[in-house]
């Protein structure tokens, strides 16, 4: 007895991922390994620039140092690049990621031209999951070097960090159990795009399984 083949309800070709039918939706630029890799290279280049700018100026601070008109252009471009990443095709991702890189550099130039101060080397900043910026300094004396600039900033000294580690011993256990392990709330490094490709035997233009 021959089984009837299932047909998509919308009449479109059934989506497959490495030959397996699926209903998982993905942005057009992520549908094949080839387009995903090309797009991810652009995203990685953008992430490198964003990381560099936040290390230089602080987490979420640079956009607040420029005039309103430039800040609005920057925020509009942030929206457009996110739209491309979630819904766009490969050309959308390439175009918007490169424009986002240009937007970051435009803010950098404007802040320098206005004489704004970059992040002091004695201060390290990271944006936490709730959007609050954690500023880490060596001691209370260096806390005066933290620039709030209309952001919600919490300052932690190295002594505070030591107390936090003592209060959460499971963090130490993770470090001891998995040498080189780290706990990360926000992205501070560029990941390898090939880590997301589970089957390197498949042709590069096969649908990607995510």
pLDDT tens string 179-207: 565 554 445 555 656 566 665 566 657 66
- The pLDDT tens digits for 21-69 are 555 568 999 989 899 999 999 999 999 999 899 888 887 889 999 999 9
Cβ atoms 13, 203 nearer than 8 A: no
Query: What is the distance between the alpha carbons of residues 157 and 143, in angstroms, rounded to a whole number?
Result: 8
Q: How many residues does the chain have?
A: 210
Which carries the bigger pLDDT value, residue 202 or residue 9? 202
CA–CA–CA angle 148, 156, 176 (5° rounding): 135
Average pLDDT on 11-19 reads 49
| Among candidate residues 130, 108, 110, 103, the one with its CA nearest the CA of residue 119 | 108
Query: Would you state the structure tokens that stand for residue 95, as one six-digit string?
Result: 């175009």
pLDDT for the residue 161: 83
| 3-class state of residue 88 by DSSP | coil
- The pTM for the full model equals 0.59
Cβ atoms 84, 96 nearer than 8 A: yes
Domain boundaries, the chain: 26-118, 120-188
Cβ atoms 136, 161 nearer than 8 A: yes
Average pLDDT on 84-95 reads 94
What phi and psi values does residue 131 have, to the nearest 5 degrees?
90, -10
Q: What is the mean pLDDT of the chain?
A: 78
């Amino acid at each position: 007895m021959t089984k009837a083949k299932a047909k998509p309800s919308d009449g479109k070709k059934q989506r497959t991922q490495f030959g397996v039918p699926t209903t998982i939706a993905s942005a057009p630029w992520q549908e094949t390994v080839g387009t995903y890799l090309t797009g991810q290279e652009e995203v990685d280049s953008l992430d490198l620039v964003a990381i560099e700018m936040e290390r230089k100026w602080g987490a979420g601070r640079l956009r607040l140092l420029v005039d309103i008109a430039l800040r609005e252009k920057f925020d509009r471009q942030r929206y457009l690049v996110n739209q491309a990443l979630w819904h766009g095709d490969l050309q959308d991702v390439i175009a918007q990621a490169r424009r986002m890189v240009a937007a970051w550099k435009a803010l950098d130039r404007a802040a320098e031209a206005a004489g704004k101060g970059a992040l002091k080397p004695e201060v390290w900043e990271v944006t936490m999951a709730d959007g609050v910026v954690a500023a880490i300094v060596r001691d209370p004396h260096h806390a005066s070097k933290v620039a709030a600039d209309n952001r919600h900033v919490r300052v932690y000294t190295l002594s505070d960090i030591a107390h936090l580690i003592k209060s959460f011993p499971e963090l130490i256990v993770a470090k001891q159990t998995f040498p080189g392990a780290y706990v990360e709330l926000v992205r501070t490094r560029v990941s390898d795009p090939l880590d997301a490709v589970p089957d390197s035997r498949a042709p590069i233009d096969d649908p990607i399984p995510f």
